Structures are given as C-alpha cells and as structure tokens.
Structure 1
Amino acid sequence: MQRIGFVVSPGFRVMSFAVASAFEFANFEMGEPVYEVHLLSETGGSVRTSLGMSVATEPFGAANFDTLIFGRGTEAPTPGLIEFARQAPARCRRIAATCLGAFILAEAGLLDGRRATTHWNRARDLQARFPKVKVEEDRIFIVDGQVWTSAGMTAGIDLALAMVEQDLGADVARAVARQLVVYHRRAGGQSQHSALLALAPKSDRIQNALAYAKRNLDTPLTVGELAEAAHLSPRQFSRAFRAETGQSPAKAVENLRVEAARLMMEQSRHSIDIIARQTGFADRDRMRRAFLRAFGQPPQVIRRNARAELVA
C-alpha cells in the first residue's frame, strides 16, 4: 500500500481535498486499498482551513511516505515546515506541490535547477524570488524527476490523475476521471488559460454555438452554421455574440483553432500540414500567421520547445 501524505498549514484551500479524491476513487476502482491518505501538519491536531472549518492532522514524524504533497496556507511557512520539505527527497519517492505549495519547495531548495509551475497569478513572483527555478507559468503541471508541481485549484486533480496513471495505468486513471466527472483529463503541457473561459459567454445559446464550434473545428464554420446552432438568425447571432464575448465570431473561432493546434503541436507527431487541416486552418501558412498573432512564435518553435522540455 502506498502512503500519501498531504502537508497542510493554517489557511490552506479547501479545494486541496479534491486532489485526495483521485486516490480515494483509485482505491474504489481497484477494489482494494492501494493508497492510504494522511493529513499532516507541523504540530498535528486541528488545522483551520481558508473557509474557517478545521481538519484533524497528524504531526510530522519519522514515518516514510511514498508521496508527499505540499499545499500552502495563508500564513508564511515556518522553519519546521521548510526543513520537513528539505528532508523529503530522502524519505519518499515523489514530492509534489499544488498551487502556491511550489513556494515551499522552492524555499527548501528542492526546485533549484528544476522546471516548475504554480498558479499563473503568482508565477512571476515565484521566478523573481527564486531565480534558480525554471518557472513555466503556462503549464497545468510539470514533472521534473521526483518533483511534481501543478498550477492552481483544479490543476491539482490533473496532477493526481497523472500519478494514478503512473502507478496503476491509463485505464484506471480514465476510470477515476469518469468517477470524478472530469470532462477532459488534461495533460501537463496544456495551457493554464482557456479560449472558452476567456470568451465567457453568458447565455446558453452562445455557449451552445461555441461548443458546436469546438466539436467541428475541421470544418469551415460559417456564421450561418453557428447561428443555427444558437437558434438565432445570423444577424441576431453576430450582434449577441459580440455583446457577450467582446469578439467577432471569426476571431473567437480562430482562438479556438489556435488552442487546439497548439495542443496537437505539443502532444502529437502529426505533421504541421495535417494539424492545420484538422484544426480548420486549411493550410500551414494561415496557421502560421494565427500562431504569430497569438503567441509571437511560429508553430515550429512551439513544437521544438515542447520537445526540448520533454527531453529535459
């Protein structure tokens, strides 16, 4: 049985418990207790969460764990917590940090020379405070040797699912994702930012049109088609779309295509021509211009950087 230790401190986010659920449902899928989860804190006892409720924890001790996962609370980490993190590599197989927990690992020196990520809103702060860390602010999670780091909030679930896949295989990880009603299990290299989230449509009709577009990126996707999906006339649709998203339908579709193409560039071996066709750009030149507008880099550079990260 693998012992998983969640290290918490006062004011930690309740969302952290969602990470533990991945291991809970892995036990359910396996039909036996594969993982044993423990909540740890420096002194043990009751620890208050960010919502004001309290949880019971075990104190740091000499016990070994297969995996230690650090989350940061609202208070500055104590010397005892930093020292516990510093000693972690000698006592466990994997060390992880979700969201701002990366600051604890960085202060303990565990991220020196390593690639790491954290919540996008604090990534530049992490880089400024700890220049020896190779911070990648636009990643869901990163694995560098025995150290795992994830972005904020729900990205911790993606990290935990990747751990389950490493331990028990892809089929079990997919089954756990279904139990958690995770719509799409994201790979670590995926961007923290979502084109759909940025558009933030308010009505079901515009949301339906965008969902239709995302499912059919390989087709021309005219305003008439999207309007039909929204059950509006083309004129009504264009007016409502811009009012809700601040963008034209054409620009929004391009953003969706760029997001899908970038993911394929990073995670597949398809040629650039195939990716351009499958994401609706029709040809590589059109896709190249869209990438330059969105990222300031052509597709080839995005792919080369992704492969270099994988080798590293």
Structure 2
Amino acid sequence: MLDTGLIVYPGFQVLGLSMCATFEIANTLAQREVYGITLLSERGGLVKTSAGFAVETEAFDARRFDTLLVMGDNVVRPVSPGMSAYLRTASAITRRLGSICTGADALAQAGLLDGRRATTHWCHARELQKNYPSIKVEEDRIFINDGPIWTAAGMSACVDLSLALVENDLGEELARMVSKQLVVYHRRAGGQSQFSVMQDLAPKSDRIQVVLTYARQHLKADLSVESLAQVANMSPRQFSRVFTSETGQSPAKAVENLRVEAARLMMEAGSHTVDAVAHEAGFGDQERMRRAFIRAFGQPPQVFRRAHRP
C-alpha cells in the first residue's frame, strides 16, 4: 500500500481535500487498497480549514510515507520551524514530496526546491521567485514534476496533480477511468497554462459564449465574421459590434488567440509535426502560425517545443 500523507495547518484551503476522492476511486477501480490516506499536522488533533470547519489529524512522527503532499492556502503564511524540520527529515525516506498552491513555500523554506523547477498559484509565483531565487518558478504551469518533487498550481490543480500521481503509479488507463468517475476531463497536462483565452474573453451573454465555444471546437473551420454571425443568429455588423463590446477583442483577434492557445499546447506536447499543428489549429500553413505566435509571444512556435523537451 502507498501510504499518502496530506499535510495541513490552520486555515489551509479546503479544496485540497478533493484529492482524497481521486485516491479513493483509484482504490475502488483497482479493487485493492493502493492508497492509504492520512491527514497530518504538526501537533495533531483538530485543524480548521479555510471554510471554518475542522478535520482530525495525526501529529508528525517518524512514520514513513510513500508520498507527502503539503496543502495550499488562500494566502502565504509563515512556515513553522517544525514543519520545515519534518519535511527535511521526510525527504530522505519519502519517495515523493509535493505541494499544492502556496504549499510550495513550505518545500522552498525546507530547501527542497533549490535548483529545481516548481510552480504555485499564479498570483503568488513572483513572490516565491523573489524570496527563493535558486528555484526556477514557472508561474504558467498546472503542475511540474522535477525528480521526486511535484508542485501544483492553486485551487482545482490539486485534482490534476492527484490524477497525475495515480497515472504515475497505476497507468494512464486507470487514471482515465478515475477522471471519468470524478466527472472531470482527463487531467490537464502539467505544461498546460494556468490561464485560458476563454477566461480572458469572459463574454457577458450566452449568445457570445456559444460562439466562442463553437469556435474553440471548430478551429479548422471557416471562422470568419460572417460564419460566426450565423452561429449567433445575428447580422455580421451587429455580431461584430456586440462581440467586441463584450470581450474587448474583435472576432478575428479572438479566433487567432484561440488558435494560438491550441497550437501552443500541441507544440509543448511535442507529439505533432509543425505542419500538423498548423493544420489542426486552423492556421492552414506554418507561416501564418509563425506570424501569429510572434504577435502573441514575440517568439516562433518552435521555441515552445524546445523549452518542453525532456
């Protein structure tokens, strides 16, 4: 059995506990108790969550765990000397250490992230980098695995991390079955951005939201103003005016951004040729995709593939 300890402290973000469901369902589908879950805290006993209710925990001791994961918080809190000491000691006998969100600060203070790549919630990433310059903080990642250390972004990224751990232990097929039971999409890749074009656009009306969803699902189709206006059941002139008013971008710019986002993820995954990426993302050819990447990032698409090679 893989003993898994979730390290909590007063005020920890309650969403982190959702990882327990991933491990629970993995046990059910594997038809054996693969994971044993223990909530740990420095002194043990009841520990209050960010939502106000408390959970029962066991105190730090010499027990050996297969995996230890430090929960995150809504704010960055000082890390106690006791937790730092426990993590340093545990690092010598634990197969995997990880963190959710601001839990990365605990690993950093214990010196466990020195010289490694790591991530955290995007709004705390720059502070983490400033406080610990020896860490390569990548703020635009869902999770990162660097050797025995796994760090994840904030909030729902804990589910992506737990699914990745299950996949690492039990294989992709079982992890996919777990995600299906959880009624979530199969886990987002670790290199996937914490940000989303769809979130940035944030239209006010369902009509424009439907158009954006259609565009994202049909990147290879004709996504001209005239075609999108038909989806919205509006005249091209009215559609263009309403779309720009609600999203702050022209339809053409929004479509390009959706295609760039899709292409970037495919380039980072490294499983398609550049020609295939340009075709699948709807650019048609490499040159149009290259110009779009330069406008968006100031770099050609090949840079993203090189940066994510193992």
Within-5 A mapping of 1:101-250: 101-250=103-252
List structure 1 runs of 4+ shifted beyond 4 angstroms.
Answer: none
Partner of 1:298: 300
- Residues 97-151 of structure 1: CA deviation (Å, up to 9, x unaligned): 0101001000000000111111111111111100111111111110000000011
SS in 1 for 2:37: strand
Partner of 1:14: 14
1:280 is aligned to 2:282? yes
* Paired residue type of 2:35: Y
Q: In 2, distance between residues paired with 1:220 and 1:281?
A: 11
Partner of 1:24: 24
Q: Using the aligned pairs only, state the percent identity.
A: 58
Work out whether residues 164 and 187 of structure 2, in 8 Å CA contact, stay in contact via their aligned partners in 1: no
Partner of 1:68: 68
Q: In 2, distance between residues paired with 1:269 and 1:81?
A: 41
Q: In 2, distance between residues paired with 1:184 and 1:292?
A: 31
* Paired residue type of 1:228: Q
Query: Which is worse superposed, 227-236 or 57-66?
Result: 227-236
Return the offset for 1:43. Answer: 0.2
Return the offset for 1:69. Answer: 0.2
Q: In 2, distance between residues paired with 1:296 and 1:190?
A: 19
Work out whether residues 43 and 59 of structure 1, in 8 Å CA contact, stay in contact via their aligned partners in 2: yes
Return the offset for 1:240. Answer: 2.1
Query: Which is worse superposed, 43-52 or 73-82?
Result: 73-82
Query: Which is worse superposed, 71-80 or 163-172?
Result: 71-80
Report the CA distance shift for 1:200/1:78 in structure 2 as closer, same or farther (over 3 A): same
* Paired residue type of 2:81: P
* Paired residue type of 1:174: R
* Paired residue type of 2:23: F
SS in 2 for 1:47: strand
- Residues 195-253 of structure 1: CA deviation (Å, up to 9, x unaligned): 11111122221111111111111122122222222233323322221122111111111
Structure 1 length-normalised TM: 0.95
Structure 2 length-normalised TM: 0.96
- Residues 249-303 of structure 1: CA deviation (Å, up to 9, x unaligned): 1111111100000011111332212211211111211111111111111111111
SS in 2 for 1:220: coil
Q: In 2, distance between residues paired with 1:151 and 1:72?
A: 9
Within-5 A mapping of 1:42-57: 42-57=42-57
Q: In 1, distance between residues paired with 2:307 and 2:53?
A: 44
Q: In 1, distance between residues paired with 2:26 and 2:208?
A: 37
Partner of 1:36: 36
Q: In 2, distance between residues paired with 1:286 and 1:257?
A: 11
Q: In 1, distance between residues paired with 2:72 and 2:224?
A: 47
SS in 1 for 2:151: strand
**Aligned residues between the structures:** 308
Q: In 1, distance between residues paired with 2:235 and 2:42?
A: 62
Q: In 2, distance between residues paired with 1:38 and 1:233?
A: 59
Q: In 1, distance between residues paired with 2:208 and 2:24?
A: 37
1:99 is aligned to 2:101? yes
Work out whether residues 16 and 72 of structure 2, in 8 Å CA contact, stay in contact via their aligned partners in 1: no
Q: In 1, distance between residues paired with 2:17 and 2:163?
A: 14
Partner of 2:84: 82
Work out whether residues 71 and 103 of structure 2, in 8 Å CA contact, stay in contact via their aligned partners in 1: yes
* Paired residue type of 2:46: S
Work out whether residues 6 and 38 of structure 1, in 8 Å CA contact, stay in contact via their aligned partners in 2: yes
Q: In 2, distance between residues paired with 1:142 and 1:269?
A: 19
Work out whether residues 270 and 305 of structure 2, in 8 Å CA contact, stay in contact via their aligned partners in 1: no
Work out whether residues 64 and 90 of structure 2, in 8 Å CA contact, stay in contact via their aligned partners in 1: no
Report the CA distance shift for 1:232/1:29 in structure 2 as closer, same or farther (over 3 A): farther
